[in-house]
Amino acid sequence: MEKLSDIFIIGGGINGCGIACDAAGRGLNVTLCEQGDLAQGTSSSSSKLIHGGLRYLEYYEFGLVRKALEERETLLRIAPHIVHPMRFLLPHHKGLRPAWLIRLGLFLYDHLGGRKLLSGTKTVDLRNSRYGEALRDKYRMAFEYSDCIVDDARMVILNAMAARDRGAQIYSRCKVLSAHRENKFWAIEVQDMMTGVKRVLRAKILINAAGPWVSGIVENVIQPENQKTETNNGKSKAEVRLVKGSHIVVPRIYNHNKAYTFQGSDGRVVFTIPYQENFTLIGTTDVDYEGDLNRVKISTEEITYLCDLVSEYFERPLTPKDVVWQYAGVRPLFDDGTGMAQAATRDYILNLEGGLNGQPAILNVIGGKVTTYRVQAEDVLEKIKHLVPEMKDKWTSAQTLPGGDMAGGSVEAETARMHFKYPALDKKYMERLVRSYGSLADKVLNQIQKMENLGLCFGGDLYEAEVIYLMKNEWAVTAEDILWRRSKLGLRLSDVEIAALDLWMRNYGKTGNSQNKVYNLQGVQ
């Protein structure tokens, strides 16, 4: 018989993996199942920001902004290899929000969250600054403020790794088929999507952190006769509003390292963010979504909208032909009845049902954002603490995520250490490894001292040694897993190179070694 879990988590995005990490560190027996790859859905489709949400102040979301600003500094400390400070320039002109209102908002933004690590707001004269060179002449002044950027998918992976290191069972490509109550426990039928094998797992508490699929889990997976349960808060289902956010990536627009925050005439905010050294990330949109959650795509209208909005600011207009990559994700927001999608709350709701008279409980996680995932996980465990009183105290704010314990606490210091240890390896390559893996870059290299010993190069600076590490340690199965979630090296590889990598990984997955085969990167049958 399968071992009984204290909690069983459905969903391998930032919410599910964050909860698994926290719970495992408190001594609970944790199982997590994700139907696809970890971070395959919404959690790899964000704006890549750790931010307080300046625009949420307009909707009086002061509690959410304060919580997010506090978490911004916490995540800087616990994941310094993948969370980095970024300065944002907010150009101002007549016809938009008045300057006094923006100054007030930025004053609150600077002081609500107890800022310590990041610089405060200042005013920039764009007429006498390099930061105004790419903009149209009519933009003469900007407000400059701080936020952070993050590798969102890697944040998910690091939490999954931290959970696994503390004893959690993390299953990717494992779909939950059904769940029903058997006496005091949940019986959960799961299927391995790679082999087709089915089995039943048992748990005391079920946590539905399936993101945009959260309602579908309630309606289709939890057996109907078990939905009629005693509830702790009067709610019986996940009240979710699905909102699609889309982004585009274009060749680098300007030659400096600051981002821009642009205000559209429709009241929306769009960011342009330096991305992967040679590119600019632009987004996001807010569109209500009702389609297939497995086929979420940016629309032609959204691409045109983003190009047109930023073209109002930049001297050189953008067109859809400039786009080299695009992605879209669906945010599972709490349905608060707001008319406009961009006005819907980004805060989270935790809906606990059952747990009374020995009945096994289910907790539905609705909403949330990558910035507040850690404190959300703490709130989840506080919500169920009376059901598992043996759990230990909260801990995640003081412990670095895997790879975060770098020399000197910075990417620069760790890169210097690694370059000293591996003097024959390319310094730029080493910096990328440190920005992805932090102190775990040592494990990726596995004592390899020369570039030629890293194995087959699949394109860019992706070598066999790194691919093997990702397959063995980070649940990577396909080329897509590596090129678009464990990294963004897909921006640098051709279609032929991607196909060759996929072929190599399929063979390695079957045999456990490359068998010294040479894969033709000039053409794949």
The whole-number pLDDT of residue 294 equals 92
CA of 12: how far to CAs of 39, 60, 166, 171, 390, in Å?
6, 31, 17, 9, 25
Q: What is the pLDDT of residues 60-114, one digit of tens each?
A: 788 889 999 999 999 999 999 999 999 999 998 876 778 888 888 899 899 888 8
Q: What is the pLDDT of residues 36-69, one digit of tens each?
A: 999 999 999 999 999 988 888 877 788 889 999 9
How many CA atoms does the CB half-sphere of 411 hold within 13 Å? 19
Helix (H/G/I), strand (E/B), else coil: 12: coil
**Cβ contacts of residue 60 below 8 Å, gap of 6+?**
none
Q: Tokens in use for 334?
A: 């709490």
- For the chain, give every residue range classified as CATH 1.10.8.870: 407-511
Q: Tokens in use for 419?
A: 């370059």
The whole-number pLDDT of residue 339 equals 57
Spatial distance between the Cα atoms of 323 and 307, rounded to a whole number of angstroms: 9
Q: Looking at the domain covering 5-42+154-239+346-398, what would its CATH class be?
A: alpha beta
Task: Domain 85-145+241-336: give its CATH code.
Answer: 3.30.9.10
Find out if CATH 1.10.8.870 is the number for domain 407-511. yes
- For the chain, give every residue range classified as CATH 3.30.9.10: 85-145+241-336
Q: What is the dihedral of CA 138, 131, 100, 308, to 10 degrees?
A: 60
Spatial distance between the Cα atoms of 477 and 68, rounded to a whole number of angstroms: 33
CA of 32: how far to CAs of 156, 203, 256, 439, in Å?
13, 11, 41, 26
Helix axis angle for 62-78 and 373-383, nearest 10°, is 110
The whole-number pLDDT of residue 229 equals 40
Would you say the C-alpha torsion 313, 249, 13, 21 has a positive or negative sign? negative
The whole-number pLDDT of residue 440 equals 98
The whole-number pLDDT of residue 523 equals 35
Q: Are 200 and 31 in contact (CB under 8 A)?
A: no
List the end-to-end C-alpha distance of the chain, in Å, as a whole number. Answer: 45
Helix (H/G/I), strand (E/B), else coil: 90: strand
Spatial distance between the Cα atoms of 284 and 192, rounded to a whole number of angstroms: 34
**Phi and psi torsions of 299, nearest 5°:** -95, 160
Produce one character per residue of 478-511: b if its CB has 16 or more CB atoms within 10 Å, e if not: bbbbbbbbbbbbbbbbeeebbbbbbbbbeebeee
Strands (E), 16-82: 30-33, 49-50
CA of 482: how far to CAs of 153, 467, 468, in Å?
11, 8, 11
Question: Does an H or E element contain 178, and which?
Answer: strand 174-182
The whole-number pLDDT of residue 520 equals 40
Q: Are 498 and 479 in contact (CB under 8 A)?
A: yes
Contacts 24+ apart (CB under 8 A), 276-280: 276/488, 276/491, 277/252, 278/251, 278/252, 278/491, 279/249, 279/250, 279/251, 279/252, 279/324, 279/491, 280/249, 280/250, 280/251, 280/252, 280/253, 280/254
Spatial distance between the Cα atoms of 20 and 203, rounded to a whole number of angstroms: 14
Q: What is the pLDDT of residues 128-172, one digit of tens each?
A: 999 999 999 999 999 999 999 999 999 999 999 999 999 999 999
Percentage of the residues of the chain whose pLDDT score is greater than 90: 77
Spatial distance between the Cα atoms of 81 and 169, rounded to a whole number of angstroms: 25
CB atoms closer than 10 angstroms to residue 70 = 19
Question: Does an H or E element contain 334, and which?
Answer: strand 325-334
The whole-number pLDDT of residue 519 equals 39
**DSSP assignment of 222-283, as one string?**
B-GGGTS--BSSS--S--EEEEEEEEEEEE--SSSS-EEEEE-TTS-EEEEEEETTTEEEEE
Question: Does an H or E element contain 147, and which?
Answer: strand 141-150
Spatial distance between the Cα atoms of 409 and 414, rounded to a whole number of angstroms: 8
- Lookup result for tokens 């559209």: 264
Indicate the pairing of strand 259-263 with strand 5-10: unpaired
Q: Are 325 and 484 in contact (CB under 8 A)?
A: no
- For the chain, give every residue range classified as CATH 3.50.50.60: 5-42+154-239+346-398
Q: Are 307 and 214 in contact (CB under 8 A)?
A: no
The whole-number pLDDT of residue 41 equals 94
CB atoms closer than 10 angstroms to residue 77 = 16
Q: Tokens in use for 136?
A: 């149209």
Q: What is the pLDDT along the chain (525 residues), one digit of tens a residue?
A: 568 999 999 999 999 999 999 999 999 999 999 999 999 999 999 999 999 888 888 777 888 899 999 999 999 999 999 999 999 999 988 767 788 888 888 998 998 888 888 999 999 999 999 999 999 999 999 999 999 999 999 999 999 999 999 999 999 999 999 999 998 999 999 999 999 999 999 999 999 999 999 999 999 898 655 444 444 443 445 578 999 999 999 999 999 999 999 988 787 889 999 999 999 999 999 999 999 999 999 999 999 999 999 999 999 999 999 999 999 999 998 876 665 655 566 688 999 998 888 789 999 999 989 999 999 999 999 999 999 999 999 999 999 999 999 988 899 999 999 999 999 999 999 999 999 999 999 999 999 999 999 999 999 999 999 999 999 999 999 999 999 999 999 999 999 999 999 999 999 877 766 444 433 433 333
Angle at 21 between CA 16 and CA 27, to 5 degrees: 125
